[in-house]
Chains A and B, each alone.
Chain A
């Protein structure tokens, strides 16, 4: 039933795409099509929620499309349903936002058809049950999002971003192809059910795990495969950026969960170590990149890299626990990972919508040119603040709830017997704590510079609030962030069937706890109650406000800023984003980014200005991509001579290759 309807919904999205191509592009039709996308998303969302909450058994079906002797196998189980929830809530919010926002797009016809296909592709990945369908829908998702990235193709930067994205997507799919090749074995069982029941040799399964990590990690943005993400995500229109960052990365995480936790069977101990190390490095590196970024949307994209790292740390912990048969600990870590994935989809979509609103209101993405938006765009400023609090893992919002669970998982890990893990996990915990603290600093910087202070340019002082639909979508997401933050028990219970499917056990039921506490293992170990923290904060705030207003003077006078007696009217005297990040750059950047500050101070009396030059290097780009680029350049330069040969030489070349191939074949057999 759920599967059947989901298929129809995907088909409906395809029709929306066709309709969008055919129909005239008036604002009215665009609104209608986005509304249709929102409606379809909400239907799939409801189906997925029902499937998850009733703990319905898995459903399968087979469609007579695709390869003739296989067909397309589809399946919905708890894992699919949970990720459908994430994808379609994000899809619904983005479509709602786009009802207002998408109308102002310069060429809507370049966006809307691909947008619908993109949604359809992501939904199809989640219900694919054989390798062919999975790969085909994965490519649908990649290519449609590529088309969205280059929708503003006149901008040179966007085209370049699209090119890098296409390369990385092709690389990822290639790795995925190899994964399924390894799993299918010599007999070519392309169905997931056959892969699941087959027993894989340990070396083969290990290779498949690494390849799956590369394939899904390149889509999700794991370091060092993240380079495309901060280029491509911001290039798309903001509602698509939100979908790519908030939702598509979750589809990639789904791919990893599906392959490694579901299809590969029992993990080896080093799998957890690899995933943990890469996750921890990605989290810290991502947020450090974000700290020094001045483009608002690109900063958010780097923060996505960080959060994906956090999710993978949770998955790595779950793998480590699963290997050692620590079922309840594995369930805790896995729940933390999927909970964080859900949370990230909520607050990252919210923040991208906010960035879109800022872009719409000011025409500017560079935070150094913004400032004072809290006065001109008060509602956007309010929701963006909520998003910043949530993503900085501050209680009682949702980001904290999932990070809290993850830290509880780390505290359970001394019982792991392998020394490699024992030594690595505390270090990963420290990296995670560092990433959380840096995220706080990063969002204080972004919010403080863009929304507070005085306007740094005319476009910032003349900003205007966005339309009602866009604001509605942002408030909806903020409400979701608050709700999942104060009632984390509901999400943990909803994720119980998912953890059972992935690691075989689930966390204890939370809703039955007194006062709606969340208690991962036992009350004597740890507990947290978002609702009460919220109530406590509300109570103490009210007490403080009432007391102050009763006893204190309520006189208030507006005056120029004090600033130690020397206020300066020039907005350029404010702290900039670069100056805010400078101390952190000196602490962390010198080792990671080799930041160098060169001060050129003219002699007294000289008329030239003083200069400060700050240089930074991207270590990953330098170490990997620049070298690959150099190698490709070198080889293609060398092969260039082959372009100018005579016909005789070409023929003899072909003949030689033929002989070599025939020889190879005869020796092989």
Chain B
């Protein structure tokens, strides 16, 4: 079943075309990578899928319902978005920050229950931040802060997860831990990753959307779309494919 899809979607930012007449469908269990050069509009495209920005034309469907017909709260129960950077202007603890992810599931007068708290603590453990729950958010390192944001997204328990550079600030160990966490046991969930590392895309994703600097796009299954030819065109820089341990790797020339 299609969790999120777009039909004839055209997106523009500041007179620059990001995609035109794009139709694609993302199903439960799929992991999509969005690749492209800096400034090509990957983040903008993701924000359109999340309903934060209004597309020039075309319709986005979430669980087969048009996105514009849903309230923000209904959307938030089904779709989550990891932002590229986090804003922290006010003090607070890690646990408080993660519990914010439960907001779409609570009534306005309801307090988080013990099971919400337990979920938050378990999720913190899953992202490698056990014992961090009482730490002040403003004292965390970039990578730790990023994993708090991931935990916040995970406790939202939406079945569509849009992730803008989820491995930003993470060391190699945590990059793979996080990618494994997100892509394992996700039969009912769809992930859409904006990535800069082609090798993370080939390893963890099954589909890819390439956004070219000229506003054209290409999408399909990774084995067909992530090739030397297409990636070299995409990055305007030579990439060579090698094989190691039955995996494809791309090395910059």
B partners with A: no
